[in-house]
Chain A
Amino acid sequence: MTVNRRQFVLASGKYLVMSAAASRAVGYVLAGSPERAPGYSAHDHWWAMAIDIDLCIGCGGCVRACKEENDVPLEPFFFRTWVERYHVPEGDIEHPMVDSPNGGYDGFPERYREGDGSKNFFVPKLCNHCAHSPCVQVCPVGATFESPDGVVLVDKDYCLGCRYCVQACPYGCRFIDPRTHSVDKCSLCYHRITKGLTTACCEVCPTGARTLGDLKDPSDPIHEFLRTNMVQVLKPQMATGAKVYYADLDGSVR
């Protein structure tokens, strides 16, 4: 059989295209099960956090622990978690005063007076690890994603630093790390929870105001928390599927 130049070029082109497609397909098959961390099966967990407003004393321990555990820049405005102080004046619940000096890192110097009829409380905040996350939807390169165990994570090596997600997050939970110029946010201490530990903020919280919970574990105390408290998520009207559940959350909280 003789092959002329035209036939040779056509045939080799065809095989090249087909083998490229086949190698991709084989790659998917070989990747197999998504269990990557040893001894940890991502599909057996669905992480959430329970926050009891009435237990938070605004000590800022969570903020300090988070910055240390996750190497967050110490300057103000870079927080993976922070605590807000709410002051709701009497008869004016529409206009609460909210402050968060250094995110609560140094505690809260007294600012208000007792007996003025106001309502005062602390609100710890962090990434809500939304199941339908706006920040994930806008990422143009797939550098942020919802993991199989329900944690919104960042692929720092893949992030372009375009800041779309910073604007998309309705809770203001993201920032650009000034050292790497890639985005950073609460990872729900993914390096800890995949090893059976709790998050750094939950570890050091002295009153148990915040607790990590696994919604796929029927014996996890978070189920009792959700059952026995009036719980709410932040900005439910945005339908983000937020998984940070607040007990006794005041309607003035934004």
Chain B
Amino acid sequence: MRELFKDKEHLVRMAGLFGVGLLVFVVLRGVLIPADFGDLGHYRASALDDNSSVELRFAGRAACELCHDDVAAERAKSAHRSIACEACHGALAVHADNPEAVFPERPEATPLCVACHEANVTKPAWFPTVIPDEHSEGEACDECHMPHAPGFEEVGSDG
């Protein structure tokens, strides 16, 4: 045996070092890379869970209408029927989870109306807009128009 490795000791040492290096690499790799890395692709598969477990803020229209079916019926024929509840009333997942916990305040109508219906050159021509000051002379929008059912035909001709 001794005879065989004569004059080759430097090669054996290199091979040994290489072996140790490989071992360290394999062990470190096993420790440092998360167990689920690569299950679905070049990423941590549990990152999907991280992304899907974020808490909701907007409950979604269906959740609102479970309880507020009277409002849903009122709005069903209005020009605003396609607008989700939370577009005006704000994010209310907390209220949907526990109606007692948070009781939402009724939002002031005029700023909400103006956010969409104020005249602007960039808005598409089909969309009904007004110049608020000229249109209502400072009156609140919901003096004439009910946000849930703006009902143009029932109000003045300038609606």
| Residues of A near any B CB (own CB < 8 A) | 13, 16-17, 20-21, 23-24, 27-28, 31, 34, 36-37, 40, 42, 54-61, 65, 68-70, 85-87, 107-108, 110, 112-114, 120-122, 142-148, 153-158, 187, 190-192, 194-195, 197-198, 200, 203-208
CB distance from A83 to the nearest CB of B (A): 10
B122 engages A58 (CB within 8 Å): yes
B48 engages A204 (CB within 8 Å): no
Neighbouring B residues of A34 by C-beta, 8 Å: 39-40, 45
The residue on B at minimum CB distance from A113 is B121
The residue on A at minimum CB distance from B83 is A206
Secondary structure at the B interface, as helix, strand, loop or mixed, is loop
> Given that A34-B40, A206-B83 are contacting pairs, would A158 and B47 also be in contact in the complex, using a CB cutoff of 8 Å?
yes
What sequence of 0s and 1s flags, for each residue 11-50 of chain B, a beta carbon within 8 Å of any chain A beta carbon? 0000000010011001100100001111111111111111
A191 engages B51 (CB within 8 Å): yes
A13 engages B23 (CB within 8 Å): yes
* Given A36-B52, A69-B57, A197-B58; 10 other pairs, CB 8 A cutoff: A21-B26, A57-B116, A61-B87, A61-B115, A107-B118, A108-B120, A112-B121, A142-B44, A143-B43, A157-B47
Which 8 residue pairs of A and B lie closest in terms of their CB atoms, listed nearest first?
A: A155-B47, A145-B43, A191-B54, A204-B87, A120-B122, A190-B51, A194-B52, A142-B42
The residue on A at minimum CB distance from B123 is A57
B41 engages A23 (CB within 8 Å): no
Neighbouring B residues of A69 by C-beta, 8 Å: 56-58, 91
> Given that A24-B30, A68-B91 are contacting pairs, would A114 and B121 also be in contact in the complex, using a CB cutoff of 8 Å?
yes
A122 engages B84 (CB within 8 Å): no
A40 to B118, CA, bound (A): 42
The residue on A at minimum CB distance from B91 is A68
Which B residues between 106 and 123 are near A, CB-CB below 8 angstroms? 115-116, 118-123
CB distance from B127 to the nearest CB of A (A): 5
CB distance from B25 to the nearest CB of A (A): 10
The residue on B at minimum CB distance from A206 is B83
The residue on B at minimum CB distance from A114 is B121
Residue in contact with B82 in the complex, picked from A17, A107, A208, CB distance below 8 Å: A208
